[in-house]
């Protein structure tokens, strides 16, 4: 497995693979890899001749007073996981390598970034879209793999690729969960033992919503009200949002219909902000 620290190194290997007619799958990550990331890498391994995993904590998607400095990092463990699955290359640049001494360009997607997480993290998706754009150009991948847990990110990246005619296919992959239902996340490591037990309220509330939908309920106000009341039963939980939107434009919806509906939640457990969702088809 290749460890590439510079853009030039990645491009050197990509050029060789492209000359040989090999397809490339890209898995963008911020490192501290877990089973959720592993599922993306495995999918990429199945569908491409070569797999690139980017391992980069991107500073431009963190706002003031967010957890850039404390965000968990363990590159040695990341390397072991990637090698065990069969990744061909890990791209592990510094911020200086990615952005240089000065960086004046950003990529912005309107509308889809205004609600949900974008309402409280106004710089986040500009940072995501900018770094993903750079990774797409560096890796020249045929396919890129993103997890459904960050559903707004997935929708935003899909729209960016569509609107700007990128020559890449975006693959959304299912949420990977702990045995008790908690969605895998690098930020789960911030939780105390008591908070970890409390955090299962997110997935439990979504399970109740799924059961309500399966019983025939289509009124999304009633469904989100059920989720809200369930979360409020946990003393350590504080709701940021509970929203039901169409998964294409991320606009609020009132009723389930034939289009994909994203039911998304963001909840603080203590000081830790966690997200989860279901997509109803």
What is the pairing mode between strands 143-147 and 50-55? unpaired
Specify which residues 263 forms β-bridges with.
244, 278
Specify which residues 141 forms β-bridges with.
none
DSSP 258: S
Helices 220-232 and 201-214, packing angle to 10 deg: 150
- Distance of alpha carbon 145 from alpha carbon 255, whole angstroms: 30
> CA 261: distance to chain centroid?
18
Q: Which of 25, 18, 4 is closest to 89 using CA atoms?
A: 4
What element of type H or E holds 262?
strand 261-269
133 φ/ψ angles, rounded to the nearest 5 degrees? -60, -45
- Distance of alpha carbon 143 from alpha carbon 173, whole angstroms: 12
DSSP 148: G
Measure the N-to-C terminal CA separation of the chain; round to a whole number of Å: 39
DSSP 111: S
8 A C-beta contact, residue 130 and residue 13:
no
**Which among 34, 37, 92, 124 is annotated as catalytic?**
37
Q: 37 catalytic, yes or no?
A: yes
SS3 74: coil
Catalytic residue list: 37
């Amino acid at each position: 497995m290749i460890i590439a620290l510079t853009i030039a190194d990645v491009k050197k290997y990509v050029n060789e693979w492209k000359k040989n007619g090999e397809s490339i799958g890209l898995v963008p990550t911020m490192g501290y890899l877990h089973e959720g990331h592993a599922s993306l890498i495995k999918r990429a391994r199945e569908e491409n001749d070569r797999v690139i995993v980017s391992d980069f904590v991107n500073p431009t998607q963190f706002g003031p007073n967010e957890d850039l400095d404390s965000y968990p990092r363990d590159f040695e463990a990341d390397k072991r996981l990637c090698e065990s699955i069969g990744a061909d290359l890990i791209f592990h640049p510094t911020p200086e390598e990615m952005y240089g001494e000065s960086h004046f360009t950003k990529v912005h997607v309107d509308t889809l970034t205004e609600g949900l997480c974008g309402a409280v993290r106004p710089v986040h998706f500009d940072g995501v879209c900018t770094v993903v754009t750079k990774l797409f150009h560096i890796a020249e991948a045929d396919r890129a793999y993103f997890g459904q847990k960050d559903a707004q990110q997935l929708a935003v990246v899909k729209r960016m690729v569509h609107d700007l005619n990128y020559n890449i296919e975006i693959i959304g992959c299912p949420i990977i969960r702990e045995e008790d239902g908690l969605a895998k996340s690098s930020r789960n490591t911030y939780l105390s033992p008591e908070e970890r037990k409390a955090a299962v309220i997110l997935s439990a509330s979504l399970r109740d919503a799924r059961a309500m939908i399966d019983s025939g309920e289509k009124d999304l106000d009633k469904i989100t009200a059920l989720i809200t009341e369930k979360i409020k039963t946990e003393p350590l939980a504080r709701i940021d949002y509970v929203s039901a939107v169409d998964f294409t434009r991320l606009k609020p919806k009132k009723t389930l219909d034939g289009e994909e509906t994203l039911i998304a939640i963001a909840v603080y457990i203590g000081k830790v902000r966690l997200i989860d969702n279901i997509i109803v088809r």
